Amino acid sequence: MGSPPHPNLNLSGRTDPDQTLESEDCQQRYRRLFENAPVVAYSLDNQLRTLYISPYCLKVFGYSDEEVQKDNLFWDNHIHPEDRQRVRHNRELYLEEGKGLTLEYRIIHRDQTVRHIINHTIPISHNNRIQCIDGFIFDITARKHLEDQLILTERIKVLNDMSLGVAHEIRNPLTSIGGFARLLDRRMTSDDPGRAHLEIILKEVSRLEKTVNRVLDGFKRIRLHPAPADINAILTKVLNQLNHEFHHMGIQVITRLSNKIPELELDRHLVEEGLRSIIKTTIRGMEGGGDLTITSALNHRYVIIEIDGIHLNHGPLDECQMFFPFYREPAFDGGIGIPLSQQIISQHGGNVVIRNGNDQRATLVITLPIPRSSQRK
């Protein structure tokens, strides 16, 4: 492994033994700072070959410092393809002028996940020629995810308000139309030539009323009646109820349910209905079959339920649209629908997150809190 860049500690030029020891001690502290800090410090030559990189690169990139130093094309190869041209252009532009550069972009980790970083580069010049490039890389993936979640929450709130407003505006005249049509139906004789047209009106009014009610129900606050319940038992029951659909679609369900999960405070009936609607919606694009792995695990204060292997034949799952009425629901099947399902999980103190993969598959993650009494145990 190379050595980190270090300051010139012997400014006087003396070779005093005490000063030499002090210098070596400072260098050791300086090295420890670089090697233990949660940031990637690096130094490159003017051909972008790695002279030194701190061990934290293993966490950010998934590669050890030795592996990075052996790969002369490392810095370009691991930029996200969609960001590569922009990063190269800006880097060349600023290095030509000998200026420092701070860029935010995406990289591909060794495990093929996408990470967000900020890369701050500092060119070191001598006689107007760049000799080397020092820099620092900060992993901001968690921050980006939080920002995306905040933006998503705001978008959903705006769409909620819009949907509720539109639904109410439609329901008022629809109620009048339906009322007059039913009154006319009671007064019209069976052989009236206009009955066929009236029956079409009644049928369409009824369909629209159900649609509007589903939209309004989707944003209605639910009253919970929680009691101690076994989430694994609820999951198993839901999967058994959907077994016919799995078989018809050629889906092989693999369950890995932890036996260490305590009972949770749940409204058993509502959670069961919510899980059923979520699973039915997520498998809409799996007409060709495949494996669907469902796991439950304990993670500090939460139970994590993962539905993994969802095929994306109809395109990525849209985290914003998914929790609105009729998303990937071709027809009303008597279920409670996705918006209410999400509300049920949310009112239990949980959350639903979608992770779209790069291999045309997705994972849906549901979290539910563990009661404080069980946390103390």
Which pLDDT score is estimated for 49?
92
Closest alpha carbon to 312 in 293, 333, 284, 343: 284
Residue 333 banded pLDDT, cuts 50, 70, 90: very low
Give the lowest-confidence range in 145-154, 222-231, 292-301, 365-374.
145-154
Give the lowest-confidence range in 24-28, 150-154, 261-265.
24-28
Residue 3 banded pLDDT, cuts 50, 70, 90: low
Question: What would the mean pLDDT of 52-69 be, rounded to a whole number?
Answer: 92
Distance separating alpha carbons of residues 163 and 109, to the nearest angstrom: 39
Give the CA radius of gyration of the chain: 30
Helix spans in 8-140 (H): 17-36, 57-61, 65-70, 74-77, 81-96
On whether the CB atoms of residues 41 and 28 are closer than 8 A, the answer is no
pLDDT tens digits, 286-307:
767 888 999 999 887 889 999 8
Q: Which residue has the tokens 């990189």?
A: 53
Residue 331 has pLDDT above 90, yes or no: no
pLDDT tens digits, 120-138:
998 888 887 888 899 999 9
| Mean pLDDT over the full length of the chain | 80
Which pLDDT score is estimated for 335?
47
More confident residue, 20 or 81: 81
Neighbour count for residue 209 (Cβ, 10 Å) = 16
Give the lowest-confidence range in 151-165, 247-261, 351-365.
151-165
Closest alpha carbon to 274 in 368, 361, 363: 368
Residue 355 banded pLDDT, cuts 50, 70, 90: confident
DSSP string, 169-189: HHHHHHHHHHHHHHHHHHHS-
Residue 118 has pLDDT above 90, yes or no: yes
Which pLDDT score is estimated for 334?
43
pLDDT tens digits, 240-260:
999 988 998 899 999 999 999
- Distance from chain centroid for Cα 290: 23
Which pLDDT score is estimated for 332?
40
